Structure 1
Amino acid sequence: MIRRIAAVLAAAGLALAGCGQVEEPGDNTTAQAGPTVQTRFGPVTVPANPTKVIALGWSDAETALALGVQPIAASDWLAFGGEGVGPWAAGRYTTPPKILPTLELDYPTIAQLQPDLILNTRSDNSEEKYRELSKIAPTVSSPAGVVAYGTTWRQQVDLVSQALGKAEEGKRLTAEVDNAFTKAKTDHPALTGKTVAVGAHYSDKYSAYVRGDSRVDFLESLGLTNKPEVQALAGESFAVDLSREQIELLSADLTVVFPIGTDGTPLRNDQVLNQIPSAKAGHLVILDDKTLVNAFSSGSTLGTLYAIDKATPLFTTALGT
């Protein structure tokens, strides 16, 4: 649990802002009933054509924007600032959203905004938070069976598009991203069948990502396979800590490492990292372009499309093909 919270804090770069819980349910009885969405906490009936949407989950705001809906408030998980979304989503708001805290939810402010729908599809899976949010408005959480923050972009599009009454638009958006991955695999056949290990460096510590993380999902969608020895360490989180003695576990046909909270200098100067077999063979990619790292980490359809275009050639080059 501590590792997961530290990782999310590092990625988000946001200070916690704790607030009190909601004591009384909001009055949402006048909204016309819309579809029922299946979530980890059971079925949720959402209003038809919601107009006051709050997006709390990681990439929920970008997903709503990609479907043509502008949240009135949203959490800025990757500390973009401004409208709280990456540059690949720039210009999709006509009215900037109110930016809300991430890990510690500001229930009073959320209630004051009087939303008719709350999206929290990629989160820590807290049932307590879900119950509190549901007192304010119908809340769509993650699907059943995923680890904390493990909702895939496909699952997120499915949940958000259903909740917004835009299921057909969601199918088209999913097809667009799937087609982009298919084209990338065709254009970069050297990636298919290769093993990959993806890690992060934070406060002089390393972690490796496993399935359930959007970055691993991204790389496997390009035809790579997460290194089995890393995947074998998977627990109930999307990442595992590595000691200095375990850094060689990041050696694979392709190794991708990025810094959190700093630039790539410590990685390029780390003699242990640069002595692992993949690094010595020239198959190590250090991602330190902040925009690209954020796109790679966003797990949103818009960020994923950007990363497919910008990051895939770097991976192919590192394999020497």
Structure 2
Amino acid sequence: MKLTRTKALAAVASAAGLALALTGCAGDAAAPSESPAAGGDGAFPVTIEHAFGESVIEQAPERIATWGWGAADAVLALGEVPVAIPAEMYGGDENGVLPWIAEELDALGAETPALLTSGAEGQLPIEEMLAAAPDVVLAPYSGITEEEYTQLTDAGVDVVAYPEVAWSTPWRDVISIVGEALGQADEAEQVLADIDASIAEQAAAHPEFEGLSIAEVWNVAGTFYVYLPADPRVQFAEDLGFVSAESVTELDTGEATFYYTLSYEQLDKLEADVLLIYGDTEAEVDEFLASEQGQLLPQVPEGEVVKVIGQSAIASVAPPTALSLTWGMDDFIAAIEEGLAE
């Protein structure tokens, strides 16, 4: 089954599947990305192994396209401008451009790349992609199929797919893979080091987070989701000093590697110092917390509830990217501070 990134992660919390129609209008293609530094240091050729074999990139790509989640962000963080990127209607603007991508394009003085639309089940739009005339398609965190991969490679395009399983590549590995493909492995490591330094700075500034147990959840359309330690947003909280509550793993139903659903009758068992709840709107979250089911959560009467509200805020940590984590970090921290202060 082919899944969009939004269905796979951020929108998995919706009983309706948050089946978003990625109908953003394609923007003008950006000017070709040029990488003289990458090509001049002996980095190429580069061979990258992935689920469909291996791809050999002979020289620094001049026209870079991305598919899936996070690859476009990594390319931009490395100072390159893709010619085509996927439209993201969950968290993006009316055209499907995510706010942190828009800000980085503005900082680079670049036009918006062509925005690729996907089918109802997340199919890669082959004709749109080929119309952008890429040298390489970077899709290390995506649902690209072997058929789609073959169609692109048969057309003479180098393609870097996910290492093993669709929609499963750790976000840090996405940055590393993109850096390797562009001949900028060292620069990619510096991007990661800068992100880690920002997280460490926030953790040091908030010693009150250290050791507090946390449960991260989302209630959507009658279904209550709990995120496991394997989920990147939980890992981010742990980087800030929190620890995943024991109850989170004790109640795990084994539905998936990064989340499970919990019946309302069991909400009183979700013991944690802090409850972090996601929601598209504050009204949606407040309505649930005031409901009979919401009041069962041990943290609600005590006021130990952190609310992370809005599609962009949720998308920025589900999972993080080379640009999104630092983009949304201040607001995320402010939400935690507000929740703990009440």
TM-score normalised to the size of structure 1?
0.81
In 1, Cα distance between equivalents of 2:272 and 2:211: 12
Q: Could you say which residue in structure 1 is the equivalent of 2:30?
A: none
Question: Which one of 92, 98, 106 corresponds to residue 80 of structure 1?
Answer: 92
**Within the alignment, does 1:297 sit opposite 2:318 as a pair?**
yes
> What does 1:172-187 correspond to in 2, within 5 Å?
172-187=190-205
In 1, Cα distance between equivalents of 2:286 and 2:185: 45
1:244-270: per-residue Cα shift (whole Å, max 9, x none)? 2344455422211112xx412132122
Q: Quick one: structure 1 residues 13 and 106, their matched pair in 2 at CA, closer, same or farther if it must change by over 3 Å?
A: same
Q: Could you say which residue in structure 1 is the equivalent of 2:138?
A: 119
Q: Could you say which residue in structure 1 is the equivalent of 2:111?
A: 95
Q: Could you say which residue in structure 2 is the equivalent of 1:14?
A: 20
Q: Could you say which residue in structure 1 is the equivalent of 2:340?
A: 319
In 2, Cα distance between equivalents of 1:274 and 1:58: 36
Unpaired segments ≥5 residues, structure 1? 18-31
Question: Which one of 149, 152, 158 corresponds to residue 176 of structure 2?
Answer: 158
Question: Secondary structure at the residue paired with 1:71?
Answer: coil
Q: Quick one: structure 1 residues 76 and 220, their matched pair in 2 at CA, closer, same or farther if it must change by over 3 Å?
A: farther
Question: Secondary structure at the residue paired with 1:287?
Answer: strand
Q: Quick one: structure 1 residues 160 and 7, their matched pair in 2 at CA, closer, same or farther if it must change by over 3 Å?
A: closer
The answer (yes or no) to whether the contact 2:87–2:97 under 8 Å persists in 1 is yes
One-letter amino acid of the structure 2 residue matched with residue 172 of structure 1: Q
In 2, Cα distance between equivalents of 1:242 and 1:85: 31
| Higher mean C-alpha displacement, 86-95 vs 111-120 | 86-95
- Residue 283 of structure 1 deviates from its aligned partner by 1.4
Question: Which one of 179, 190, 198 corresponds to residue 216 of structure 2?
Answer: 198
Q: Quick one: structure 1 residues 193 and 8, their matched pair in 2 at CA, closer, same or farther if it must change by over 3 Å?
A: closer
The answer (yes or no) to whether the contact 2:209–2:240 under 8 Å persists in 1 is yes
One-letter amino acid of the structure 2 residue matched with residue 49 of structure 1: A
> What does 1:29-178 correspond to in 2, within 5 Å?
34-77=45-88, 78-81=90-93, 82=95, 84-87=97-100, 89-90=102-103, 91=106, 92=108, 94-102=110-118, 103-124=122-143, 126-136=145-155, 137-144=157-164, 148-178=166-196
In 1, Cα distance between equivalents of 2:3 and 2:159: 27
In 2, Cα distance between equivalents of 1:65 and 1:218: 22
The answer (yes or no) to whether the contact 1:152–1:212 under 8 Å persists in 2 is no
Q: Quick one: structure 1 residues 213 and 148, their matched pair in 2 at CA, closer, same or farther if it must change by over 3 Å?
A: farther
Question: Secondary structure at the residue paired with 1:319?
Answer: helix
Q: Quick one: structure 1 residues 311 and 100, their matched pair in 2 at CA, closer, same or farther if it must change by over 3 Å?
A: same
Q: Quick one: structure 1 residues 204 and 265, their matched pair in 2 at CA, closer, same or farther if it must change by over 3 Å?
A: farther
Q: Quick one: structure 1 residues 72 and 186, their matched pair in 2 at CA, closer, same or farther if it must change by over 3 Å?
A: same
The answer (yes or no) to whether the contact 1:61–1:85 under 8 Å persists in 2 is no
In 2, Cα distance between equivalents of 1:252 and 1:127: 43
The answer (yes or no) to whether the contact 1:208–1:241 under 8 Å persists in 2 is yes
In 2, Cα distance between equivalents of 1:242 and 1:310: 28
In 1, Cα distance between equivalents of 2:217 and 2:276: 6
RMSD: 3.0
In 2, Cα distance between equivalents of 1:129 and 1:139: 10
- Residue 36 of structure 1 deviates from its aligned partner by 1.3
In 2, Cα distance between equivalents of 1:143 and 1:10: 23
TM-score normalised to the size of structure 2?
0.77
In 1, Cα distance between equivalents of 2:187 and 2:194: 11
In 2, Cα distance between equivalents of 1:142 and 1:3: 14
Question: Secondary structure at the residue paired with 1:45?
Answer: strand
- Residue 41 of structure 1 deviates from its aligned partner by 3.6
Question: Which one of 233, 238, 250 corresponds to residue 258 of structure 2?
Answer: 238
